[in-house]
Amino acid sequence: MDIGIIGGGASGMILASKLNKHNVTILEKNNKLGKKLLLTGNGKCNFTNMDFNNLDYIYNCKFAKTIFKRYDNYSFIEYLNSLGIVSKVETHKNIDYVYPNNNKSTSIYYALYDKIINNKINIEYNSNVINIIKKNNKFFVYTIDNKNYEFDILIFAFGGSTYAKTGSDGSCFSIVKKLGLTVNDVLPGLTPLKYKIDNIDVNKINFTGFRVDAYVSIKDKDNNVLSEYGEIQFTKENVSGIPILNLSSKLARIQSSYKNDIDIIFDFSCNLVNSVNVSNKSSYFNLSYEEKNNKVINILKLRRNLIPYKKIDDFLCGYLPDELNLIITSLLNLKNKKVSDLTDDDLINISNLIISFKIKIIKQNNYENAQISVGGIDTNEFYENSLEAKKIKGLYAIGEALDIDGICGGYNLQMCYSSASVVSNHILNMEG
């Protein structure tokens, strides 16, 4: 049986590493496999997560549950271990991320690559597929350089539309449509967002960028509140950090184009209220605005009494980044005051900004800045137990080609593994 895999990224490599009983060919657009895999987690390769009890953070979670139930995070860890990869868990903000022990994505890359070579997989590099025809139970695949291939089974393992320089440019989705399969809108996901602050020109502030913990909320077009908590990163043009990246994917699905600026509200008060920590942050952020406001104002009053001789720019020093302090004092026209000059009304206004700091999102960043793309081939086109297409026997799809995506934390690479395992298991068991 001749098997073709279109795409030699993470999902394609994992699938090929598991297929050792058939004649398998990878058609890879680049001159190297797994280019995007090498970039995962800034090269550290956060490949999975220890929290798979609740899949609400996975889009299309009902479909994904069937796949993850069969091949979960422990299965992925054990598989890589069988290839010689020792893993470790790092906890950040009460989330357990899993990495290779040496923090090198190259170790996972070569573990998979060596297994592929050992399986005697045929790799056709620089193979840009431009057409696929199914005829007489065979798949005829044509490339831009006039090569053609014939397969009994074909698997879509191409990436979405992120990191085009790695070959993941979404061009194969047009081929999928020609085969009669539904492709849902493909948009940038897990991406920074471009922003502006009304009445503030950040170019006039000594603004080198900063990081700060915050509770972030956005209202979608139906006024539903989307929220995340964690470290936020500001530059002069973009706001980023895991909470923003996660929200960007949710926004892409519900509001693909920003006809009007979208408000993001930040609650920075967790940096002032000492009782807030990872274990009880949920109970704190569930407090009413008035309750949080009272806590913050009391802290500000104590601080006014403690350092009355300080300049206003230093009032929140130690609580919030200097750049954020400057923005707050600029918005409230307090620049020329000393801490001792602050009135109770000033403290109320400062508290309001700390708890409800607003910026406007101008637009999402492009695919080059996105970690994944949301959208893809509609999962309704496939059987859950095999990922074989319902309309086209012998055709499968895995990884980012499918319309399934998750938040930051290794969930998307886990999906590559789990979906590839479902398909490999199905194919290897076809002959009994």
Whole-number pLDDT of residue 380: 96
pTM for the whole structure: 0.86
Least confident piece of the model among 23-27, 123-127, 333-337, 420-424: 333-337
pLDDT of residue 83: 97
Question: How many CB atoms neighbour CB 427 within 10 A?
Answer: 23
pLDDT of residue 372: 85
Whether the per-residue pLDDT at 203 is higher than 80: the answer is no
pLDDT of residue 255: 63
> pLDDT tens-digit profile of 73-82?
999 999 999 9
The string of pLDDT tens digits covering residues 258-276 is: 556 788 999 999 999 876 6
The pLDDT, as a whole number, for residue 181 is: 96
- Output the pLDDT for position 167: 47
Per-residue pLDDT, 226: 83
Check: CB of residue 321 under 8 Å from CB of residue 210. Answer: yes
Burial of 20 (0-12, 13-18, 19+ CB in 10 A): middle
Residues 46 and 119 in one domain: yes
Q: Is the same domain home to 144 and 198? A: no
Together in a domain, 324 and 230: yes
**What is d(CA 13, CA 33) in angstroms, rounded to the nearest whole number?**
8
Are both 151 and 283 inside the same structural domain? no
Instruction: Calculate mean pLDDT across residues 364-378.
Output: 80
Pair 210, 358 in one domain: yes
List the one residue out of 27, 5, 29 whose CA is nearest residue 152.
5
Question: Is pLDDT above 90 for 24?
Answer: yes
Asked if 241 and 339 sit in the same domain, the reply is yes
Q: Are strands 95-100 and 153-156 parallel, antiparallel or unpaired?
A: unpaired
3-class SS at 198? Answer: coil
Average pLDDT, the chain: 88
Residue 33, domain CATH: 3.50.50.60
Which single residue is written with the structure tokens 């994944």?
372
Q: For tokens 């009782």, name the residue.
A: 275
**DSSP code, position 316:** T
Of 146-155, 290-299, 355-364, 387-396, minimum mean pLDDT range: 355-364
Q: How confident is the model at residue 21 (pLDDT cuts 50, 70, 90)?
A: confident
Q: Is 67 in the same domain as 7?
A: yes
Same domain for 207 and 268 = yes
Other beta carbons within 10 Å of 299 = 18
- Written as six digits, the tokens of 30 are 């680049």
| Residue 70 belongs to domain spanning | 2-188+371-428
pLDDT of 223 higher than 80? no
Split into its structural domains, the chain has a count of: 2
Please report the pLDDT score of residue 126 as a whole number: 94
Split at pLDDT 50, 70, 90, the class of 163 is low
pLDDT, residue 54, reads 66
Enclosing H/E stretch for 285: helix 281-285
pLDDT at 378: 96
The larger pLDDT score, comparing residue 337 to residue 135, is at 135
Which residue among 315, 332, 364 closes a domain?
364
Q: For residue 1, what are its two tokens?
A: 């049986």
Does the pLDDT value for residue 219 go beyond 80? no
364, 380, 396 - which closes a domain? 364
Give the pLDDT score at 414.
93
Q: Domain check: are 33 and 13 in the same one?
A: yes
Which of 312, 334, 364 terminates a domain? The answer is: 364
- Residues 70, 174: one domain? yes
| Mean local confidence (pLDDT), 219-232 | 80
Higher pLDDT, 379 or 278: 379
pLDDT band at 281 (very low <50, low <70, confident <90, very high): low
| pLDDT at site 179 | 95
Say if residue 16 is in the same domain as residue 153.
yes
What integer pLDDT is reported at residue 369 of this predicted model?
Answer: 74
For residue 405, give the nearest of 32, 55, 35 by alpha carbon.
55
Claim to verify: residue 150 and residue 178 sit in the same structural domain: yes
CA distance 336 to 310: 12
